[in-house]
Amino acid sequence: MTIQQPVLDLSPKVSDEVRKTTCYMCACRCGINVHMKNGKVAYIEGNKDHPVNRGVLCAKGSAGIMQHNAPSRLRAPMKRVGERGEGKFEEISWDEAYDIAASWLKPIRETDPSKLAFFTGRDQSQSFTSWWAQAFGTPNYAAHGGFCSVNMAAGGIYTMGGAFWEFGQPDWDRTKLFILFGVAEDHDSNPIKMGLGKIKKNGAKVVGVNPVRSGYNAVADDWFGITPGTDGLLILSLVHCLLKAGKIDLEYLRDFTDAPVLIDADPKSPTHGLALLDDDGHKLVWDRTEKRARCYDAEDVDPDLTGVWEVDGIRHRTVFQHLAEKYLDGQYAPEAVAGATGIPAGRIRALAAEIARVAFDEAIELPIEWTDFRGRKHTNMVGRPVSMHSMRGISAHANGFQTCRALHMLQILIGSVETPGGFRFKPPYPKPATGHPKPHCKVTPGAPLDGPHLGFTHGPDDLCLKDDGSPARIDKAYTWDNPMSSHGMMHMVISNAHAGDPYKIDTLFLYMANMAWNSSMNTSGTMQMLSDKDENGDYVIPHIIYSDAYSSEMVAYADLILPDTTYLERHDCISLLDRPICEAEAAADAIRWPVVEPDRDVKGFQSALIELGAKLGLPGFVTDDGSQKFKDYADYMVSHERRPGVGPLMGWRGNGDETGRGAPNPAQLDRYIENGGFAIAQIPENAQFYKPWNAAYQEWAVEIGLFDKASPYLFTLWCEPLRRFQLAAEGHGERQPPEHLRARIKATMDPLPIWWDATADHGGADGEYTVNALTQRPMAMYHSWGTQNAWLRQIHGRNPMYLPTEIWEKHGFDEGAWARISSPHGEITVPVAHMPALNHNTIWTWNAIGKRKGAWALKDNAPEAKEGFLLNHLIHELLPPKQDGMRWSNSDPITGQAAWFDLKVKVEKVAPPADLTSKPNTGRQVSPVGQGPDKLAWEVE
């Protein structure tokens, strides 16, 4: 029978034009092709040439069009006309907005710049926003790292000069065993998925260590359903097994780490625990051949891992000896940790054995010659093809810093860092803590701060304390409470400002952080603090300025709104100066540019800051005659120089053919746009591994402007900064911690990674809170943003609390059931669902699905504002009261990282509420942008 098929146009026109820019649907910064039809955005796909995503794009990225046209977009600057939290606003002009902001900011800059707290959330322009804050003169600046993953970043930098994601990546093409600790779905999203795909294709093995078997853990060949907060213990047990079996890379440890460095081993010595140095401050190692202590980087040095040397009556032993003694202890034997971790001893051993097998029996060699920093030539590059990755899962615990250090130590012990098949740094990393600035906090009225706010402390002298010993920063970062808080502590700002502790502020200036909702612990309490009034009827936090592109919950709590653009309407630079998009084989940076102009009276926040900076006359923002220096952010991106010849963007500098270093090039942005929105500079082949010690890499890095002279270094298994704080707590030195913190500093700031049960403080007075409670972010959503996206919110518009079989059956839950989940701090009433592939004592839910009524231009029937809920209500920024009468911070005692995942709860079955609405009820805010339409069919003709 002949079939009459319709004649199809198989080659329809796809679009008028493709504009290539950078995605901002999450923090990954993938390259996107924006297809334009009649000047409108019609379709978004991944850019095949882009180093981050190679053409692929996640659910968020492809749904970007729905973010770009979201009805929740703010339309114009606004000033509050109702009470804080009500959401009542009046639209104003930009001039009026700047006048209002300047009327608050100018006086405080002239009298006390620290009265401004400027925190920028999920900011991708931190090198610019921090520079603004520095020019203003306030010490109170940070982005959201403190409540995100500072433990991972700082743990990595202090140990080996970088961590995961922006700092480095597994050698996806060569690795044979990949171990993923904790939730990782929310950072580095496409690269990890692409990497998992490569691993699967190559037949390599994926091991997932995570209480929840979903997402990446669903495809993991082996799943270890660990008890939350015990990853450190598991890792140290793996270290125990490997040490005992001698499955460590002795050559690597000897040549590239501080394992042979001599450490003062005399408990009575004032330098107990510190490295023995020569007169130039170089670390000394014991030389096996010459039988004497020598500088670690001498060309012919033969470091010994087991050397002991007595000098001036003080016995010094190598780091390796300390380490061997510590981890061979029976407390780290698999049998000893099985109970706490929830992993049977045999499985721990099996994992350790697999690591040993792959690292040593399947070692790979690349026939690439290279020269190390001691000038020795190597004929090949030996790799231990075991790689690891982790982000928030192990970071967001109070023991997270030490756990992250333990993870890096494990990688170092088997010699897999910066070797083929293992973990590889991405420029500008490797860069050790000593290569970063120290924090600065010296305030001078009417003048800039004395240096960059954020940095790395190396001992008590670097703390940000005032002369009277009180915290210099509003968030109490870099104090004895958390001496190494390298990313600041954004999560403490509102509660500290509300309490006036350590001091009162005048203006809270926030950008892109939904602090009145999912970005805060203790959400209900935070909302209350933001709207609290003093006895005079004035707000306790006098002024709040907020910049956001969308009608978030936080908008309702601000006095002045500076409306930001969507990501397709703005300039941005993804700069080597802060958080670039480099790959292990190449340095890369990128821009965003307005592929469409805004159709509202909105401005890119950075451009608004430039105008506000000029209005305030901030140094760097005005020319000598006092006029505005940069036209807008695009102008800044091109013409600003941080150091002579080094600016925000590395590509096409000078006359257009210089990379990294060169004079500003007015045509630079056009060249970026022509090239698809990014620039890339390949690392030479012989410089691609062993980067911290590879002379060719060091040379290349200097050439491209990453640093100004070659800076090789040793990995530091022994973290001296920790030891210096510990020494102070033991009574040594001038700067002494307050008495109540002494014991804790001694216990937690061990120079070698340790583990303690950080959830123990969360069980309540009677120990009734016994169940671990977690959140994870769905791969298709980015914090609260996904909910305004008509496509994404259909995928994740509800979030039940998932319960493991044990709890499900114990309480007799069935489909459609609800539970009251309580912590020492509060309670929520929420729908529950069953999940067998889950640690038996852990419950969890998707993060940031619940929404406040009226926010995000949603209608009142939106499930997010009915059944949807936040776990945040149960988490307090302070720990429950203890017998000592103190309220300790719910954060890592070393870095101040918010310990989201230490939460313990109690689960009780309750009847479903009559209105099927979760509790607590957080009220309603008026939407300044109305509500979205009833129907949607977004076809651009």
Partner 1 sequence: MTALPATTDKKLGLVIDLDTCVGCHACVTACKGWNTQNYGVPLSDQDPYGMPSGTFLNRIHSFQSQPEPVNDIPQLARTTHFPRSCLHCEDAPCVTVCPTGASYKRAEDGIVLVNEDACMGCGLCAWACPYGARELDQQAGVMKKCTLCVDRIYNDNLPEEDREPACVRTCPAGARHFGDLGDPESDVSKLVAERGGVDLMPEQGTKPVNQYLPPRPRDTLQAPEMTGEEDVLAPFLAPVAEEPKGLLAWVDRALEKI
Partner 2 sequence: MQPAPSVIIFSTLSGAGFGLLFFLGLGMPVVTGGIAFGFYVIAYLLAVGGLMASVFHLGNKKNAWKSYSQWRTSWLSREAWFAVSALLCMGLYAFLQVFFATTVATLGFLGAALSLCTVFATSMIYAQLKTIPRWNQPATPGFFVAASLAGGALLSNNPNLAMVLLLVLAAVVAFHWWKGDQRFAEAGSTIETATQLKGRVSLWEKPHTGENYLTHEMVYQVARKHAVKLRVIALLLMTVVPIFLVLVFGPHHLPVALAVLSHLAGLFAQRWLFFAEAEHVVGLYYGAHTGKQTA
Residues numbered 819 to 848 that lie near partner 2 (CB under 8 A) are: 835, 837
Give the residue, chosen from 5, 794, 861, 883, that forms a contact with partner 2 under the rule CB under 8 A. 794
Give the residue, chosen from 94, 223, 503, 756, that forms a contact with partner 1 under the rule CB under 8 A. 223
CB of 210 to partner 2, least distance (A): 15
Give the residue, chosen from 20, 254, 825, 851, that forms a contact with partner 1 under the rule CB under 8 A. 254
Other Cβ atoms closer than 10 A to 289:
10
Distance CA 506, CA 455 (A): 25
Preceding peptide of 502 cis, ω within 30°:
yes
Q: Confirm or reject binding of residue 798 to partner 2 (CB under 8 A).
A: yes
Give the residue, chosen from 79, 272, 315, 357, that forms a contact with partner 1 under the rule CB under 8 A. 357
Of the pair 244, 642, the CB lying nearest partner 1 is at 244
Of the pair 783, 796, the CB lying nearest partner 2 is at 796
Tokens for 554, please give them: 């936080």
45 binds, among partner 2, partner 1, none (CB under 5 to 8 A by kind): partner 1
Of the pair 600, 798, the CB lying nearest partner 2 is at 798
Q: Confirm or reject binding of residue 282 to partner 2 (CB under 8 A).
A: no
Choose among 562, 665, 515, 680: nearest CA to 146. Answer: 515
Of the pair 8, 914, the CB lying nearest partner 1 is at 8
Of the pair 7, 81, the CB lying nearest partner 1 is at 7
DSSP string, 438-507: PP-----TTS--SS-S-----SGGGS-B-TTSSBSSTT-TTSTTSTT-TT--GGGHHHHHHHT-S---SE
Handedness of CA 862, 865, 867, 869 (dihedral sign): positive
CB of 821 to partner 1, least distance (A): 22
Of the pair 245, 663, the CB lying nearest partner 1 is at 245
CB of 462 to partner 1, least distance (A): 34
Q: Confirm or reject binding of residue 464 to partner 2 (CB under 8 A).
A: no
Q: CB–CB of 839/887 below 8 Å?
A: no
108 binds, among partner 2, partner 1, none (CB under 5 to 8 A by kind): none
Query: Between residue 167 and residue 196, which ones bind partner 1 under the rule CB under 8 A?
Result: 185, 189-190, 193-194, 196
Provide the CA 425 distance to its chain's centre, in angstroms. Answer: 16
Q: Confirm or reject binding of residue 863 to partner 1 (CB under 8 A).
A: yes
Q: Confirm or reject binding of residue 915 to partner 1 (CB under 8 A).
A: no
Give the residue, chosen from 796, 852, 873, 876, that forms a contact with partner 2 under the rule CB under 8 A. 796
CB of 72 to partner 1, least distance (A): 8
889-910 burial, b at 16+ Cβ within 10 Å, e below that, comes to bbbbbbbbbbbbbbbbbbbeee
Choose among 390, 414, 412: nearest CA to 401. Answer: 390
Query: Between residue 207 and residue 236, which ones bind partner 2 under the rule CB under 8 A?
Result: 214
CB of 849 to partner 2, least distance (A): 9
Q: Are strands 40-46 and 78-80 parallel, antiparallel or unpaired?
A: unpaired
Contact string 293-322 vs partner 1 (x = CB under 8 A)? -----------xxx-------------xx-
For residue 78, the surrounding DSSP H or E stretch is strand 78-80
- Spell out the residues 6+ positions from residue 240 whose beta carbon is closer than 8 angstroms to its own: 327, 328, 329, 332, 333, 334
798 binds, among partner 2, partner 1, none (CB under 5 to 8 A by kind): partner 2
Only one of the segments 463-471, 578-586, 642-650, 855-863 lies at the binding site for partner 1 (rule: CB under 8 A); that segment is: 855-863
CB of 341 to partner 1, least distance (A): 13
* First vs last C-alpha separation in the chain: 38
DSSP string, 634-662: HHHHHH--SBTTB-S--TTBTTTTB-SSS
Contact string 514-543 vs partner 1 (x = CB under 8 A)? ------------------------------
Query: Between residue 599 and residue 638, which ones bind partner 2 under the rule CB under 8 A?
Result: none
CB of 57 to partner 1, least distance (A): 5
Tokens for 203, please give them: 């037949």
Tokens for 915, please give them: 């209105």
For residue 61, report the phi and psi dihedrals to the nearest 5 degrees: -60, -45
**Amino acid making up residue 650:** M
Angle, helices 126-136 vs 605-615, to 10°: value is 20
Q: Confirm or reject binding of residue 863 to partner 2 (CB under 8 A).
A: yes
Give the residue, chosen from 3, 81, 911, 914, that forms a contact with partner 1 under the rule CB under 8 A. 3
CB of 363 to partner 1, least distance (A): 13
Q: CB–CB of 164/152 below 8 Å?
A: yes
Only one of the segments 154-162, 268-276, 766-774, 791-799 lies at the binding site for partner 2 (rule: CB under 8 A); that segment is: 791-799
For residue 201, the surrounding DSSP H or E stretch is helix 189-201
Maximum pairwise Cα distance, the chain: 102
Only one of the segments 100-108, 387-395, 589-597, 794-802 lies at the binding site for partner 2 (rule: CB under 8 A); that segment is: 794-802
Q: Confirm or reject binding of residue 912 to partner 1 (CB under 8 A).
A: no
Q: CB–CB of 170/387 below 8 Å?
A: yes
Q: Confirm or reject binding of residue 780 to partner 1 (CB under 8 A).
A: yes
Query: Between residue 548 and residue 577, which ones bind partner 1 under the rule CB under 8 A?
Result: none
DSSP string, 669-713: HHHHHHTTSEEEEEPPGGGSSSTTTBHHHHHHHHHHTS-SS----
**CA angle 407–408–412, rounded 5-degree value:** 120
- Spell out the residues 6+ positions from residue 640 whose beta carbon is closer than 8 angstroms to its own: 630, 647, 648, 664
Q: Confirm or reject binding of residue 851 to partner 2 (CB under 8 A).
A: no
Q: What is the radius of gyration, based on Cα positions, of the chain?
A: 27
Contact string 161-200 vs partner 2 (x = CB under 8 A)? ----------------------------------------
Judged by CB under 8 A, the number of residues near partner 1 is 119
Give the residue, chosen from 353, 540, 586, 702, that forms a contact with partner 1 under the rule CB under 8 A. 353
Q: Confirm or reject binding of residue 58 to partner 1 (CB under 8 A).
A: yes
346 binds, among partner 1, partner 2, none (CB under 5 to 8 A by kind): partner 1
Q: Which residue has the tokens 């409306």?
A: 563
Give the residue, chosen from 620, 654, 664, 797, that forms a contact with partner 2 under the rule CB under 8 A. 797
Distance CA 269, CA 168 (A): 38
Q: Confirm or reject binding of residue 1 to partner 1 (CB under 8 A).
A: yes
Only one of the segments 81-89, 419-427, 788-796, 918-926 lies at the binding site for partner 2 (rule: CB under 8 A); that segment is: 788-796
Q: Confirm or reject binding of residue 795 to partner 2 (CB under 8 A).
A: yes
Of the pair 521, 855, the CB lying nearest partner 1 is at 855
Angle, helices 94-111 vs 605-615, to 10°: value is 60
709 binds, among partner 1, partner 2, none (CB under 5 to 8 A by kind): none
Query: Between residue 323 and residue 352, which ones bind partner 1 under the rule CB under 8 A?
Result: 324-325, 328, 344-347, 349-352
479 binds, among partner 1, partner 2, none (CB under 5 to 8 A by kind): none
314 binds, among partner 1, partner 2, none (CB under 5 to 8 A by kind): none
- Spell out the residues 6+ positions from residue 363 whose beta carbon is closer than 8 angstroms to its own: 382, 383, 384, 385
Of the pair 645, 797, the CB lying nearest partner 2 is at 797
| Burial class of residue 639 in the structure, from the number of CB atoms within 10 Å of its CB (0-12 exposed, 13-18 middle, 19+ buried) | middle
Helix (H, G, I), strand (E, B) or coil at 326: helix
Q: Confirm or reject binding of residue 594 to partner 2 (CB under 8 A).
A: no
Q: Which residues sit at the interface with partner 2, rule CB under 8 A?
A: 214, 793-798, 835, 837, 863
